[in-house]
Structures are given as structure tokens and as C-alpha cells.
């Protein structure tokens, strides 16, 4: 598929996730077949005022290509000025605009999902950004209670010049609870000619196939399932190709992935920006004995002892394959 002039080899994308999708994490997901990766959301204001954290978020490397940088903000001028700086400084393949974040701090500021109540502002933001940069521009939305209003917003985004749209099938009020409703992505796909990416609750091969078949969308975006298991991209791709689940030793896989993640954090000089204990906790979600491992991790300090602990505790809890389950023990 293509987004604007960017060729994307595959239909499984890594979702933007604040405090998760740093360059090291994105590279890990890329290695397992994520066809497109998104940075954590970056404040347009912070880009204009240039801070170190922003720089670490925007970083990428040639092997990661194609990758997208996501911006959030509440003004067309600020976001488009920031987009122009980001284009020049980081050369992303895609610039994505956040119209989905339900966090209070953004909503109170009129950013993220708050913008969905102001369709003309959405139009203004997308057309200003498209007018300022040569990089393809995409948008990520949540859905509204009203199907027609959601489709109207999607159409506005397309008319304003966006090259693709991601639809997270939850409302702002739902935050992350309830079930993602993919009827929205399906209907938007029927109405629009730009690529539509469905997002929400894709956790394994079964759910991926079900949503692809139902929404008939161009791609799937995966968030929380990748957060605990970057290998999920390979597992889903295998299922979509063969109809079969992979037979991985989940525990060994997670430890290997965590080690590689630590190596990449060192390589990119990102350790100071990451709470390594918290990330180690995610990597143990859904594996056998995960709760015991997390209790141990909460008492350790450095990455080497976290890895030792993961190895010793994994050995005590022989693995039952738990493919893709993220809210397990």
C-alpha cells in the first residue's frame, strides 16, 4: 500500500504510545515486521520551544524507515509550524496529527480528542499542515457516539488533504475501557478514498483477521499488545499468511526481546528517558508466572538484575503458550 508517495510494505502498524514508542522500542517492533512505526505524540509547542525530550522522541535511523512522527496541539499555526521544523530536522516519512488522545491534560487544553467537537478546526489544522510540508500527512481519530458525525469528520480530514486516517474505535469517554467498535472504520472505508487504518483491541492473529475481514480496511494498528510483546507483529503476520498460530516459547521470547530492547536503549542513548523497571513489567504481562516476576522486578534497581530475575523466575514457571494475551496474570 501507499500513503501519499510512501510505499509501505505490509499492513501491520505500531501505534503511537506515549512513554512507550521511543526509537529503541520502535526498532524492536520493526525487526518483527511492523510495516510502519509511530513516534510517541510530541507537543507542537515543545517542538517550537525545543527541548531535549522532544529531540529523543523524534530521533530515528535509516533502518526504521518508513516511520511517522505524531504531533499534538490546539492551533493550526502552531501545529503546522512544528510540522515544518520536524520535517526539516527528523525527515519522517509521515507526519501524523493526534485527534484522539482523551487525557485530561490535553483535552482541557483543546488538543487531542477535544478537537473532534470542532470539525472546522480539524479542517484548518490538516490543511495548514499539508500546506506547510511536503511529507505525507495523516490523522488519528477516536470515534464519536454519532456514526454520521464521525464519518463527516473523516471526510473533512480527507478533503483537507490528509493521505490516510487511523480510526480508534472508542469514544473519548470510553478512554481505554469497553470494546473498540470497528463498524466506524468499515463505514469510513466505504466513504473515503484514502487508506483507512483500523485500531483497537487487535491482540493476536484471530482478532487481526476478524477486523481486517470485517472492516475491509487497508491496515491495522496495534498498541497495547505490542507494548507487552513486540513479537506480536510476527505472530499476526504468520497467522494472516497461514491461518496458524506460531508456537513460540513466550517466556524465552520476552526475555530475549527485553535484552534486545535494553541494548537498543543503550545504542540510542535513551536510558535516561526510560523507566526501565516499568518497561520490564510490561514485557512480563501475559506470561506464565508474570505476577511473581513483576513483584520481583519492583524490588530491583538495575537492568542486569532485572534480566537475571526474569531468567530465574521464568525457569520456575514452565511456559504454557499464551499467545498475545495482555491482561493475563
Ligand X SMILES: Cc1cc2nc3c(=O)[nH]c(=O)nc-3n(C[C@H](O)[C@H](O)[C@H](O)COP(=O)(O)O)c2cc1C
> Taking the complex as a whole, how short is the minimal distance between the CB of residue 20 and ligand X, in angstroms?
5
> Taking the complex as a whole, how short is the minimal distance between the CB of residue 225 and ligand X, in angstroms?
6
Q: Does 41 bind ligand X (CB under 6 A)?
A: yes
Residue 242 is given by DSSP the state H
With CB under 6 A as the contact rule, the residue among 101, 106, 141, 219 that binds ligand X is: 101
Q: Does 16 bind ligand X (CB under 6 A)?
A: yes
> Taking the complex as a whole, how short is the minimal distance between the CB of residue 15 and ligand X, in angstroms?
3
Q: How many residues bind ligand X (CB under 6 A)?
A: 21
Q: Does 17 bind ligand X (CB under 6 A)?
A: yes
Helices (H), the chain: 23-31, 44-49, 52-58, 76-90, 104-107, 119-132, 147-159, 183-191, 205-215, 224-228, 232-242, 250-267, 276-283, 290-297, 303-316
> Taking the complex as a whole, how short is the minimal distance between the CB of residue 264 and ligand X, in angstroms?
19
- Phi and psi of 209, rounded to 5°? -65, -45
Stretch that binds ligand X, among 9-17, 117-125, 231-239, 246-254 (CB under 6 A): 9-17
Q: Does 98 bind ligand X (CB under 6 A)?
A: yes
Q: How far apart are CA 313 and CA 317, in angstroms?
A: 7
Q: Are 147 and 185 in contact (CB under 8 A)?
A: no
> Taking the complex as a whole, how short is the minimal distance between the CB of residue 258 and ligand X, in angstroms?
17
With CB under 6 A as the contact rule, the residue among 111, 172, 199, 284 that binds ligand X is: 199
Q: Are 23 and 53 in contact (CB under 8 A)?
A: no
Grid cell in block for residue 314: 521464568
* Dihedral angle of Cα 139, 142, 145, 150, to the nearest 10 degrees: 10
Q: Does 73 bind ligand X (CB under 6 A)?
A: no
> Taking the complex as a whole, how short is the minimal distance between the CB of residue 316 and ligand X, in angstroms?
29
Task: Tell me how many degrees the CA angle 194-197-200 measures, rounded to the nearest 5.
Answer: 155
Tell me whether residue 29 is one of the annotated catalytic residues. no
Cβ distance to ligand X smaller for residue 58 or 200 = 200
Element (H, E) at 62: none
Nearest residue to 265 via CA among 247, 241, 243, 283: 283
Classify burial at 119, counting beta carbons within 10 Å of its beta carbon; exposed 0-12, middle 13-18, buried 19 or more. Answer: middle
With CB under 6 A as the contact rule, the residue among 1, 18, 48, 240 that binds ligand X is: 18
Looking at residues 219 to 258 of the shown chain, list those that interact with ligand X (rule: CB under 6 A): 222-225
Cβ distance to ligand X smaller for residue 215 or 225 = 225
Site track for ligand X across 131-170, x = CB under 6 A = ---------x---------------------------x--
Q: Does 33 bind ligand X (CB under 6 A)?
A: no
Q: Does 182 bind ligand X (CB under 6 A)?
A: no
Q: Which entry of 29, 61, 101, 314 is annotated as an active-site residue?
A: 101
CA-to-CA separations, 279 to 39, 126, 227, 292, in angstroms, rounded: 16, 34, 9, 16
Binding site for ligand X (CB under 6 A): 15-18, 20, 40-41, 70, 98, 100-101, 140, 168, 199-202, 222-225
User: Which residues are designated catalytic?
Assistant: 101
Amino acid at each position: 500500500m501507499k500513503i501519499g508517495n510512501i510505499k509501505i510494505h505490509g499492513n501491520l502498524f505500531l501505534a503511537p504510545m506515549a512513554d512507550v514508542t521511543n526509537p529503541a522500542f520502535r526498532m524492536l517492533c520493526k525487526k518483527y515486521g511492523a510495516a510502519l512505526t509511530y513516534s510517541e505524540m510530541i507537543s507542537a509547542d515543545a517542538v517550537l520551544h525545543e527541548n531535549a525530550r522532544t529531540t529523543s522522541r523524534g530521533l530515528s535511523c535509516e533502518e526504521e524507515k518508513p516511520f511517522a512522527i505524531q504531533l499534538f496541539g490546539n492551533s493550526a499555526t502552531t501545529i503546522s509550524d512544528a510540522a515544518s521544523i520536524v520535517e526539516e530536522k527528523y525527515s519522517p516519512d509521515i507526519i501524523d496529527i493526534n485527534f484522539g488522545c482523551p487525557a485530561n491534560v490535553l483535552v482541557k487544553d483543546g488538543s487531542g480528542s477535544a478537537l473532534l467537537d470542532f470539525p472546522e478546526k480539524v479542517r484548518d489544522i490538516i490543511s495548514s499542515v499539508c500546506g506547510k510540508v511536503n511529507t505525507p500527512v495523516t490523522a488519528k481519530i477516536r470515534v464519536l457516539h454519532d456514526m454520521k458525525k464521525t464519518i463527516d469528520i473523516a471526510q473533512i480530514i480527507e478533503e483537507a488533504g490528509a493521505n490516510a486516517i487511523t480510526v480508534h474505535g472508542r469514544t473519548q469517554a470510553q478512554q481505554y475501557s469497553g470494546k473498540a467498535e470497528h463498524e466506524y472504520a468499515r463505514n469510513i472505508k466505504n466513504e473515503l478514498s484514502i487508506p483507512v487504518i483500523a485500531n483497537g483491541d487487535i491482540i493476536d492473529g484471530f482478532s487481526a483477521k476478524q477486523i481486517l475481514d470485517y472492516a475491509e480496511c487497508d491496515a491495522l494498528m496495534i498498541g497495547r499488545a505490542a507494548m507487552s510483546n513486540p513479537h506480536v507483529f510476527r505472530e499476526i503476520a504468520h497467522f494472516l499468511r497461514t491461518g496458524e498460530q506460531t508456537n513460540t516459547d513466550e517466556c524465552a521470547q520476552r526475555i530475549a526481546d527485553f535484552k534486545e530492547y535494553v541494548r537498543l536503549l543503550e545504542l540510542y542513548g535513551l536510558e535516561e528517558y526510560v523507566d526501565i523497571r516499568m518497561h520490564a513489567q510490561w514485557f512480563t504481562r501475559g506470561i506464565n508466572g508474570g505476577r511473581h516476576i513483576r513483584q520481583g522486578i519492583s524490588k530491583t534497581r538495575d537492568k542486569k538484575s532485572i534480566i537475571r530475575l526474569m531468567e530465574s523466575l521464568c525457569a520456575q514457571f514452565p511456559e504454557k503458550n499464551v499467545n498475545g494475551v495482555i491482561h493475563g496474570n
